[in-house]
Amino acid sequence: MAVPGDPPNGTPDGMGGGDDELRADEYRSVVFDEDFVRAARIQEYSAQERMGEHARAVRSRSIWSGGGSASGTGTPGRGARQGMLLVLLIACAFAAAVYMGLRNPYVPPPGGTASALGSTVVPLAPATAVPGGRPADLYASSPAADYRVGAAGITLPAARRTDHFTEGEVVAALSIAKDYLVQSSLDPDILSGSASRPVRVLLDPDQLAQFDRSMSSPSGDGRHAATGWLVRFDPGTAVMADSRVRVNGTLDFAEVTPDALEVITDHTFVYAVRPATGAPAAADGASLFTVRRELRLRFDREDLTARRAELLTAYVMAGPQDCSQDPAAAFRPVLAGAGPTTVGPAASDPYASGRPRLSAGLCGVLAQPSPPAATQVSPGP
């Protein structure tokens, strides 16, 4: 009997079928019938599936495809997520900076050009012979007897906020004004005429050209008097006999625009001087020289930040001086023992409080102030 796998016409002659029959018997149990073969599904694996878990030969450079993802499915990996987070943080920081800039109420306005200084320097001629003596005795017998020494005589008023400036900004303006007074009226190098930089660094840059010209080519034109910016003695005429300058005066402030503060200073400075020529003068050869300075300084917010000032006006009376000498370059005191010189049209007391009244180009008379009243001591029991 024929079995599946036998030739249709039987086994050819001469060929043994014993072995074949044995093998057929061995595989007969695993032969699939026709219905099983038809029902079978043939599945062919793709190249990626045949690679199994092997790494991809080429990785995507896009952070959105996952970068270093091993599966290559497009899911973002750890590096991609960190990159996206960094971009998000930078965007948030930029948005916050823009928002704070728009909301900040103290954004400085565009800076303008500082005004030129207008100065008036009036010499005061002595009406009598200039008294001489020791500096301590001269101070004790003058109205400066109760004045404080040096910077201690420049006291600041109580500060308060204004409509557009904080209390801290007002304090800053007052302190800069005091620094200007100290440097321009008390610095020994300024007084001797050997330096000007300590004053220059406190000025608005727009005024530096005018200041430099005033120092190099001073004139009494109301714009370029060196003595409008600072106190300076002619080194060939007089030098300081006592470094302890007596000072008294006031400061006041006001908001003039929403972007500017002004500080008004009104101080009297009393110096003990002696002749500069030859050998040192005798101990009792000193005399007093008085300078009354009224300054108006302006500050915008840029000035307050940079600690500098715009000096708008300076009104100065100084004596005893000879009215025939131009005081624009430096002060030339009339020293102890010298008599009256050219007499001006009106007497003026530099120790008196209140606004000075003399005009530019005039020569005043140094009024003889009354010495301080002696303190009466009641007798003991």
Class of residue 97 by CB neighbours under 10 A (exposed 0-12, middle 13-18, buried 19+): exposed
The pLDDT of residue 374: 44
The pLDDT of residue 357: 58
The pLDDT of residue 331: 97
Residue 201 has pLDDT above 80, yes or no: yes
- Do residues 330 and 194 lie in contact, with contact meaning Cβ atoms separated by under 8 Å? no
DSSP single-letter state for residue 130:
P
The pLDDT of residue 375: 40
Find residue 252's DSSP bridge partners: 264
Higher-pLDDT residue of 307 and 30 is 307
In this structure, what token pair is assigned to residue 67?
A: 């970068």
Higher-pLDDT residue of 284 and 310 is 310
Q: How far is the C-alpha of 169 from the C-alpha of 177, rounded, in Å?
A: 12
Residue 56, classed as helix, strand or coil, is: coil
Find residue 346's DSSP bridge partners: 364
Instruction: Please state the rounded mean pLDDT for residues 264-275.
Output: 97
The pLDDT of residue 29: 60
Residue 283 has pLDDT above 70, yes or no: no
In this structure, what token pair is assigned to residue 364?
A: 């005043």
Residue 79 has pLDDT above 80, yes or no: no
Task: Determine the straight-line distance between the first and last CA of the chain, rounded to whole angstroms.
Answer: 168
Higher-pLDDT residue of 305 and 92 is 305
Q: What is the pLDDT of residues 188-200, one digit of tens each?
A: 999 999 999 999 9
Q: How far is the C-alpha of 252 from the C-alpha of 296, rounded, in Å?
A: 10
Instruction: Please state the rounded mean pLDDT for residues 241-262.
Output: 96
Dihedral, CA of residue 302, residue 208, residue 326 and residue 180, to nearest 10: 40
Residue 253, classed as helix, strand or coil, is: strand
Q: What is the pLDDT of residues 288-342, one digit of tens each?
A: 999 999 999 999 999 999 999 999 999 999 999 998 889 999 999 999 988 776 6
Find residue 253's DSSP bridge partners: 263
Please give the helix or strand (H or E) that residue 78 lies within, else none. Answer: helix 78-103
Q: What is the pLDDT of residues 110-145, one digit of tens each?
A: 456 778 999 999 999 998 899 999 999 999 999 999
Query: Could you identify the residue written with the tokens 């002595």?
Result: 126
The pLDDT of residue 234: 96
Per DSSP bridges, beta strands 260-275 and 238-257 are antiparallel
Per DSSP bridges, beta strands 287-299 and 310-319 are antiparallel
- Nearest 5°: CA angle at 135, between 132 and 140? 95
Please, which pLDDT band fits residue 378 given cuts at 50, 70 and 90? Answer: very low
Q: Give residue 71's Cα distance to chain centre.
A: 59
Find residue 288's DSSP bridge partners: 272
